[in-house]
Structure 1
């Protein structure tokens, strides 16, 4: 139990979330060469359900999804196509606030402040530079393929939404990307309309000061103040709810060696009624079943990377009565058996 507690309070507590909108967009941009329904179902998204930006999925699930897509199709320009498809109307109140800001610089300042509404793994920064202003993407963690694809798509989407609100064409001075370049950067430079430099110290877009000072087409100070007030309220609610998700995952991880935990028992341990617990998780775009699956999966992946535990022990620690049941579940989660994952984990 000491090891389970350590993992749950480490990797599980640190696991962030992103909006499911990004996953749906990536799958759609991948086109007919992938089974969109199967991909979305595999991460517990209803293929026919609404594209709700408030419905969150674990970042690691998102990265895994992108890597599975990459195993089926050429993803060189997938991030650019995905970013180009993003529309402000899909971001909810944040998209409206971006539109209503009086200048493009003010729009990006809203992203800098309110990005937490659709992701807990990325922070944005506006930083002055001798050549203009950098719009910087900060995303910690291993720069695995899924994260690299996500970062490229994020940078592309930042330009896509700017072009929606500006009365003149938006063309950055330069785009910087921390990871190495893909086989071709032709699509990237065609989309951004400027040089794209890889293997740099930042993930960022460099804008001229004139570009960010450009007034927005729909800029409205009165509407803007109203929307900012609404976003401040949403931000405070998320800040209040985030600890509940982390505490729930900790409690689930510590209970798994006794089998799959029951929602009522976890709720009681957190000092909540089952009804209140369910409601608060739902308001955060979560369900107890989804959190249980995510916790089991994250715990299993962490234990499999530790050669000191047998598959039978890992099955027990993740709440399975039999190793065969664990193997079937793990293959459903990641598309390979626990043994194969352990063999390949050195390159992940």
Structure 2
């Protein structure tokens, strides 16, 4: 099961505007609409694609990936975004993404590949070319261009954008924003970058800061396996709760681990399966209570309780209020 940063899901829901109920969408994929925007908070990729397809069922999404890509800011990526800005050249910035992308996704790999016309920045993502995946790829390519424009001293545009899936009804929106030809039905998902642009100094490039940030990223990268495991466990637990509280052995098996290995790796990260399960149930319940379309009985069921009374007692223990009181307080705010 692959995971992506919740940052893109938040951006997609926001960019869809009034055509969708953004808080409900985010809640449905395990994101607290009012919580902090943490790029390290991961959600299952398939869940993210489902969300995009639900948006597409409610509104025209032709330009949605462009709006999302254009809205991305370096600082929103944490240390990786700062390292992008501090790299001495744009080549260095893209190289950072090639090396450290695992910090915000486990389903995409990036490659810088020489090309007779310059350098290809290639997005590799496996899986069926479903609509959600296609929209995600377009937004990812657009975000690369947006971030490049934020650090370039001169106006930046790729030489060409290549997209594997067929073109939408019109590609003019894409070409206007990218500022170059956009070739749909290509063999790759990629940006073709000129060597001249890649060699230009970045506005905020600083060798000392860059070296420090890269060392921090190396530390984060060494820890990403266990952190991702915790996020994967949260996602798997949230998906399983509608059938009751899952067993650790079942979640471990779904993640390709034995129960003993799963327990040991969680312990090494300072958490237990029971604590993760409790935390997931609490946060899911709080998110669902913000959506008035769900009754208290439905929320009890979705968070793994067989009876509403049991859910009420647990929720009062978690937050000091009954579910009904919590819902009324949130509505008043």
Q: CA deviation at 1:288?
A: 3.4
TM normalised by structure 2 equals 0.75
Q: Which runs of 5+ in 1 are unaligned?
A: 1-14, 293-318, 322-348
Post-superposition shift, 1:266? 7.1
Q: Which residue of 2 aligns with 1:288?
A: 277
**8 Å contact kept, 1:264–1:273:** no
Cα shift readout 1:189-248 (whole Å, capped 9, x = no counterpart)? 0110000000010000001100000100000000001000000000000134546777x6
CA distance in structure 2 between the partners assigned to 1:281 and 1:186 by the alignment: 51
Which aligned pairs between 1:1-348 and structure 2 lie closer than 5 A?
15-242=1-228, 260-262=245-247, 269-270=259-260, 272=263, 276=267, 279-280=270-271, 287-288=276-277
- Secondary structure of the 1:124 match is strand
Q: Secondary structure at the match of 2:30?
A: coil
Report how many aligned residue pairs link the two structures.
277
Q: Secondary structure at the match of 2:23?
A: helix
Contact 2:248–2:259 (Cα < 8 Å) also in 1: no
Question: d(CA) in 1 for partners of 2:39 and 2:155?
Answer: 27
SS in 2 for 1:57: strand
Equivalents in 2 of 1:70, 1:281: separation in Å?
A: 38
Partner of 1:311: none
Name the CA shift for 1:266/1:112 in 2 (closer, same or farther; >3 Å): closer
Deviation at 1:41, TM superposition (A): 1.0
Residue 270 (structure 1) shift: 2.5
In structure 2, the CA distance between the partners of 1:188 and 1:239, relative to structure 1 (3 Å rule), is: same
- Gapped regions of structure 2 (runs ≥ 5): 253-257, 282-303, 307-333
Answer yes or no: is the 8 Å Cα contact 1:136–1:204 preserved in 2: yes
CA offset at residue 263 of structure 1? 5.4
Moved over 2 A (4+): 239-246, 258-282, 286-292
Q: CA deviation at 1:106?
A: 0.5
CA RMSD of aligned residues (A): 3.5
For residues 141 and 277 of structure 1, do their structure 2 counterparts lie closer, same or farther at Cα, with a shift above 3 Å needed? Answer: same
TM-score, normalising length: structure 1 = 0.72
